[in-house]
Amino acid sequence: MMLLLLTVTGFSSLRLSSSTPVTHVARYAASPRSVTMQHGGKGFGGGEATRDPPPTVYDPSDPKGKQQAIHKAESFAEYLAKRGGFSDSHKSGVCEPRSAAVSKVAPATAPASGSPYAELADAYFADIRRELALLMDNPSWDDGSLAPVLIRLAWHSSGTYDKASGTGGSNGAGMRFDAEASDCENAGLHTARAFLEPVKRKFPGISYSDLWVLAAYVGIEHTGGPSIAFRPGRVDWEGEHELLAGGWCNPMPRGGHGRLPGAEKYVAYDSADAAGRPSGWQKLCGHIRDEVFYRMGFGDREIVALLCGGHVYGRCHRGSSGYAGAWVEHPTRFSNEYATDMLEDEWRLVGHEDTWLDDMGAAELRPAAGNRQYVNKCPLGTGGDDANQMMLLSDMALAWDPDFRVHLEAFAADEAMLAREFGAAFKKLTELGCEGVLQPEVAAGGLAAAR
């Protein structure tokens, strides 16, 4: 068997055994690989939501429990009782906006200057921040934190934006409707939305689209990342017809609408180049640039900043995306570990059939059948003492492409710089397509001010 160990600091480190003279990537040629995801996608933007436990209370209007909070042995009433009490109005479980003129529900169209939604007091958003911070640490969820999956929710709701047509983006909260939610790249995110439902019920003055973004901001800051100033004003579509009017997800193509990234798109495993990289990896770089991030208006440095900051969070799951494992050792804490580990560790391409991972205590890194990913392990023993970590093909592209790599090296060398630039790029991502509705930044938006 030929072994491929790729150290991305130098592509020439190819280590071979003397047995079967077959390239490692050629092992997968017999298993046809389409360019679309087979198990629900995992593009970019933090951890996946995979659990779908039964709802705490049966609601005839919501039989699948998708809009209920999914809290272990906790009803909505118990949730409110445990977290209630910011003002007298909270005794009823609902926090009224501080301006008496504000409607309980944000308007479904862009608010005009001086509209009630624009008058929500800064203190109201501070209360929401406080409530969201209480939600973040959850021992029943992956690695004890909801932050990664909430970051992914905001990313995927925002990452549909198309600069040329002006469609998509976080405004409207379109993922509440099947036309957008059914995209395979959004697999499992109904649980992230459900975790936020009690907050929406308690603070009805905030729109869903604002809440999803603010939850991500709070999650980033709660886990040691940058504080991002919040601009409210996003408005929710009243019905799916408003989402479909944009045309970009009507009808939903098989394999998704293509606006969210595919981790292995255009990659083939029938051959490899001299550095051991599977054929088609340059086309994958083109997908990342042209079909995803350039389409939204990002440059190469912003792309790398978003991936370095976003993929430090969470993990992939076979049952959701088909990929498996965490990118970093500490997936609930902001750092530049993603960048440093990609450059410093040795990474090996594996598939579901690589059962030697089980013997090393790394069964969690074995992807579903049909998927491929890189791991920091080797059957010869390399990486046995390291935390179980993986990288997607789309991650490795940052080290393989020279124009991406220069930025990857910069962020690996300076975590503070990554924090600044990731914060700026994530704010830009979540505000795309919202220019006509966003209000001025909420004063003193950090968690410290909300406490």
Residues marked active site are found at: 156, 327
Q: Give me the helices (H) in 183-226, please.
A: 189-202, 208-222
Specify the long-range contacts of residues 137-141, CB closer than 8 Å, at least 24 apart. 140/71, 140/72, 141/51
Per-residue burial over 412-448, b = 16 or more CB atoms within 10 Å of its CB, e = otherwise: beebeebbebbbebbbebbbbbbeebbbeebeebbbe
Q: Which of 43, 321, 302, 91 is nearest to 187 (CA)?
A: 321
Q: Give me the helices (H) in 223-263, please.
A: 240-244
Contact 145, 223 (CB under 8 A): yes
Written in H, E and C, the secondary structure of 393-446 is HHHHHHHHCHHHHHHHHHHHHCHHHHHHHHHHHHHHHHHCCCCCCCCCCCCCCC
